[in-house]
């Protein structure tokens, strides 16, 4: 089947559909990329044009079946375990210290949200870090939720099976401890799977019944326009408990875009880390200043 490239008009229609369904902004510079990625879907569905594919997505039944494939085609899911080692050091040291020093009464609980969790590497990494660093781990009630708009990547996350690239940055002893390794595949052990739950969620919407101590919002804001960035930041701030921490990606637009700084409910702590005010913290002002 000889397929032509997306026309400008077809791209506008596709981009509008992406924005409506996900809040993701596709600039015109992505026309070639979108064209190339969607060709595979046209071939799989035996469709003759991008317009026919767009019509399928507008059909209620067709959209239910094809939307997960469409979303996977227009989003990037490249990730791996222990991405950005410095941020994981923060979780395993200062974040854990704060939990220990402030959870002195009542049930010792910690709730984590891995937003736009993709295929689960971030959520499972957090499970490993907390299991290895929380003292008397069995006395803690730890709940980690990984959410994504794509059911396809969530299915992979629930399976917990990864290739060599995904685990290539893990110390060998950690890999052996927390994964079953066979025939080139690495399967997350049940002790970690029990800590993590995956569910569908669109970041343009508030997270229901949210009370999180830690939220990861890494490498996702780049996909949104300014208004959607502000909307997502508000939802994340609302989801954090007072004293909760927000961890953002390697490229942090919050500090460089005044409108995002104004929308952010959290205070800057160090590169990539913010804290929602309003509760006791084990960190001192000097500690915060020293990390800037």
- Give the separation between CA 4 and CA 51, rounded to whole angstroms: 11
- Domain extents for the chain? 8-74, 85-290
How many angstroms separate the CA atoms of 281 and 278, rounded? 9
Whole-angstrom distance, CA of residue 112 vs CA of residue 193: 14
Fold classification of 8-74 (topology level): Chemotaxis Receptor Methyltransferase Cher; domain 1 (1.10.155)
Q: How far apart are CA 250 and CA 149, in angstroms?
A: 22
8 A C-beta contact, residue 124 and residue 81? yes
Closest CA relative to residue 204, chosen from 230, 225, 232: 232
- The pairing of strands 212-217 and 109-114 is parallel
Q: The domain 85-290 belongs to what CATH superfamily?
A: Vaccinia Virus protein VP39 (3.40.50.150)
Query: Which residue, chain included where needed, has tokens 């290895």?
Result: 132
- Give me the DSSP letters along 195-231: TEEEEE--TTSPPTT--EEEEEE-S-GGGB-HHHHHH
Question: Which strand ranges, in their side-by-side order, compose the sheet holding 267-270?
Answer: 196-200, 141-148, 109-114, 212-217, 240-248, 273-275, 267-270
As given in the structure block, the two tokens for residue 40 are 């595979």
pLDDT values of the chain reduced to their tens digit, one per residue, 292 residues = 455 678 899 889 988 888 888 888 888 888 888 888 888 889 889 988 898 999 888 887 777 788 878 877 777 666 899 999 999 999 999 999 999 998 877 678 999 999 999 999 999 999 999 999 999 999 999 999 999 988 888 999 999 999 999 999 999 999 999 999 998 899 999 999 999 999 999 999 999 989 999 999 998 898 899 999 999 999 999 999 999 999 998 888 999 999 999 999 999 999 999 999 986 554 443 333 333 2
Query: Which positions ≥6 away from 4 have C-beta within 8 Å?
Result: none
CA–CA gap between residue 97 and residue 75 (Å, rounded): 36
3-state helix, strand, coil in the chain (%, to 5): 50, 20, 35
């Amino acid at each position: 089947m000889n397929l032509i490239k997306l026309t400008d008009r077809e791209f506008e229609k596709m981009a509008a559909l992406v924005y409506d369904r996900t809040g993701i902004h596709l600039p015109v510079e992505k026309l070639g990329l979108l064209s190339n990625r969607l060709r595979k879907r046209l071939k799989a569905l035996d469709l003759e044009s991008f317009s026919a594919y767009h019509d399928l997505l507008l059909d209620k039944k067709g959209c239910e079946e094809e939307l997960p494939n469409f979303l996977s085609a227009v989003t990037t899911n490249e990730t791996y375990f222990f991405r950005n080692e410095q941020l994981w050091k923060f979780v395993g040291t200062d974040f854990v210290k704060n939990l220990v020093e402030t959870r002195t009464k009542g049930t010792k609980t910690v709730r984590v949200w891995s937003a736009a969790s993709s295929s689960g590497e971030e959520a499972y990494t957090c499970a490993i870090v907390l299991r290895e660093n929380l003292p008397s781990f069995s006395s803690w009630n730890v709940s980690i939720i990984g959410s994504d708009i794509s059911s396809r990547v969530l299915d992979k996350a629930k399976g917990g099976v990864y290739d060599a690239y995904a685990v290539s940055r893990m110390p060998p002893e950690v890999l052996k401890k927390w994964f079953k390794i066979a025939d080139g595949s690495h399967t997350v052990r049940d002790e970690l799977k029990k800590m993590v739950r995956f569910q569908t969620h669109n970041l343009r919407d508030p997270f229901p019944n949210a009370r999180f101590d830690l939220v990861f919002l890494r490498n996702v804001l780049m996909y949104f326009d300014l208004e959607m960035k502000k909307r997502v930041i508000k939802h994340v701030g609302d989801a954090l408990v007072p004293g909760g921490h927000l961890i953002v990606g390697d490229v942090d637009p919050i500090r460089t875009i005044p409108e995002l700084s104004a929308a952010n409910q959290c205070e800057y702590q160090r590169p990539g880390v913010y804290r929602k005010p309003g509760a006791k913290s084990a960190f001192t002002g000097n500690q915060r200043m020293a990390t800037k």
